[in-house]
Amino acid sequence: MFAVCCAAEEGGNQITTGGLPLASVAKLPDATPVSAEPEAEPGAEEGAAPPAVADSFTVVFDCSGEGMQLGLLLDTVDGKSCIIQEITEGLVQNHNMKSSLDQVIKVHDKICSVNGSGSDKAELLKALEAVKRGAALTMCFERPKEQTVLINKPGQIGIELCYQQTSYGLTIKNIQSGLLDDWNRANPSTPIRTGARIVAMNGVTSGPMGLLKSMKESDILLLTVMNYQ
């Protein structure tokens, strides 16, 4: 069993900060159950991988340039976090061109704080809106740990998923009793957490509808997951 909630592509709103256009943010609708698989004896792949430790790093941006924008499209479909979905022309792209590899901001990175504020999506966006042109902009990012999870059906997967049509994957909103929970119990040092993104299925990267189709039809699921702390 898994359930999904889908954010429509239309209805995103443009966030501006002191004249700096920052990010387009998706709205989150209620979750809607879409499929239920029959109960069966669960089967989870055992054998833990090395501990998943996500990296974090801090970047200070110069906001003094005229017409400068941050240049980030954010996926906020889980209603809690701000995950980078796309990087366009702006401060982030300029930073990446001259930074060291460990400081390059990438798709799937999570915004953790803005000028020291931001425990959730609302606070992060409020902090971005408060940035004035010429002021310092300090942002902390978390780089997710990419993990693979092998799940064997039959059985209920036991996850609730969120996505929008343009998402780069499926967001795990909730983990219930089922195959993924069994995998987590068998691999306590590398559990998949709520907020993680499923970005590929059986080695194939596709849009959210393709991932959902594979999840429903395949008996063996090799999930590629971006896992956050």
Low-confidence stretches of the chain (pLDDT beneath 70):
1-54, 65-67, 133-134
Predicted confidence at residue 228, as pLDDT, reads: 92
* pTM for the full predicted model: 0.74
Give the closest residue to 197 by CA, choosing from 142, 117, 154, 127. 142
Beta carbons of 77 and 194 less than 8 angstroms apart: no
Nearest to 208 by CA among 48, 72, 105, 85: 85
Residues of the domain holding 33: 29-52+145-227
- Please tell me the predicted confidence (pLDDT) of residue 67: 61
Q: What is the pLDDT of residue 54?
A: 52
Write down which residue in 143, 172, 190 finishes a domain.
143
Distance CA 200, CA 169 (A): 7
Please tell me the predicted confidence (pLDDT) of residue 66: 60
Domain boundary among 89, 110, 143: 143
Q: Are residues 198 and 222 in the same domain?
A: yes
**Inside any domain, residue 8:** no
- Rounded Cα distance, 206 and 225, in Å: 13
